[in-house]
Amino acid sequence: MKSAVVVFPGSNRDGDMIAALELISGQRPISIWHAETSLPKLDLIVLPGGFSYGDYLRTGAIAARSPVMRAVADAAAAGVPVLGVCNGFQILCEAGLLPGILMRNARLSFICRDVNLRVETADSAFTRAYRKGEVFATPMAHGEGNYRVDDETLKRLKGEDRVAFRYVDEQGRTTDAANANGSIDSIAGVLSKKRNVLGLMPHPENAVEPAQGGIGGRKLFEGILGKVLA
């Protein structure tokens, strides 16, 4: 199996993602510079967190137009799993690979804390190691994670079982307090129509070892890396 982490100018959780993928799979993923125009044959592509291009226009807007993104879109169309975390999720939305956009957090400030996520579907390569309804803790760290889509798209996402995660409290209930960034319908992560592209705001790559304070994110990697190994 072969996985890759795409590095944009301003990516800053690429190292975290590489370490997590290596820890779970035992194999070090390759780094792909944003200026590349073609990709090797890959089993998983990850767009990591960070502040690509300083987030100076709209988050992810400039990175979405990087040369490498055409190749990423082609790979996604061909069914290669693509994971976008935080800034990676923002880039996937800006690139049109996922619906919706990420706005400033409802309370405007950057938030770094553990959040509880509820797994809304186990029907994807990324979520298959979880049980539907399972709640796990993982950190978030962003200023612009307030997910927004229009009503029609929201209805479609729900109808097609494409909401992957929601922000919930420890008991697994969606509440205003638990929905720290104010996302519509408490949505933390969504899947593409073909279910091979996942974007989420929190950082499962920072929750894979007990020393990090929890291993809630581990099953996401076990699922996707197990799938491609099989």
Question: Which residues are marked as active site?
Answer: 86, 203, 205
CA distances from 90 to 7, 47, 142 (A): 14, 10, 11
> What mask of x and - would describe binding to another protein in positions 18 to 47, judged by CB under 8 A?
-xx---------------------------
Among candidate residues 202, 203, 208, 204, the one with its CA nearest the CA of residue 186 = 202
- Of the candidates 6, 16, 59, 91, which one interacts with another protein according to CB under 8 A? 16
Q: Which amino acid is at 72?
A: V
Q: Which stretch binds another protein (CB under 8 A): 37-45, 72-80, 124-132, 211-219?
A: 211-219
Q: How many whole angstroms separate alpha carbon 11 and alpha carbon 197?
A: 19
How far, in Å, CA of 230 to CA of 214, rounded?
27
Is residue 52 within 8 A of residue 12, CB to CB? The reply is: no
C-alpha count within 13 angstroms, C-beta hemisphere, residue 49: 20
Total binding residues for another protein by CB under 8 A? 29
Strand partners, 166: 118, 187
Cβ closer to another protein: 105 or 192? Answer: 105
**Within 10 Å of residue 230's Cβ, how many Cβ atoms?**
7
Using the rule CB under 8 A, which residue among 212, 214, 215, 226 binds another protein? 212
- Select 121 or 206, whichever has its Cβ closest to another protein: 206
Tell the smallest beta-carbon distance from residue 142 to another protein (Å).
Answer: 8
**Size of the chain, expressed as the number of residues it contains:** 230
In this chain, which of 9, 172, 214, 226 binds another protein, going by CB under 8 A?
9
Smallest distance, another protein to C-beta of residue 227, A: 23
Closest C-alpha among 71, 77, 50 to residue 192: 77
In contact, 42 and 3? CB cutoff 8 Å: yes
Residues numbered 137 to 166 that lie near another protein (CB under 8 A) are 139, 141, 143
12 sits near another protein (criterion: CB under 8 A): yes
Distance CA 82, CA 8 (A): 16
The interface region with another protein, picked from 8-16, 68-76, 157-165, 189-197 by CB under 8 A, is: 8-16
Q: How far is the CB of 48 from another protein (least distance, A)?
A: 11
Binders in 51-110 for another protein, by CB under 8 A: 51, 53-56, 109-110
Site residues for another protein per CB under 8 A = 9-10, 12-13, 15-16, 19-20, 49-51, 53-56, 109-113, 139, 141, 143, 203, 205-206, 211-213
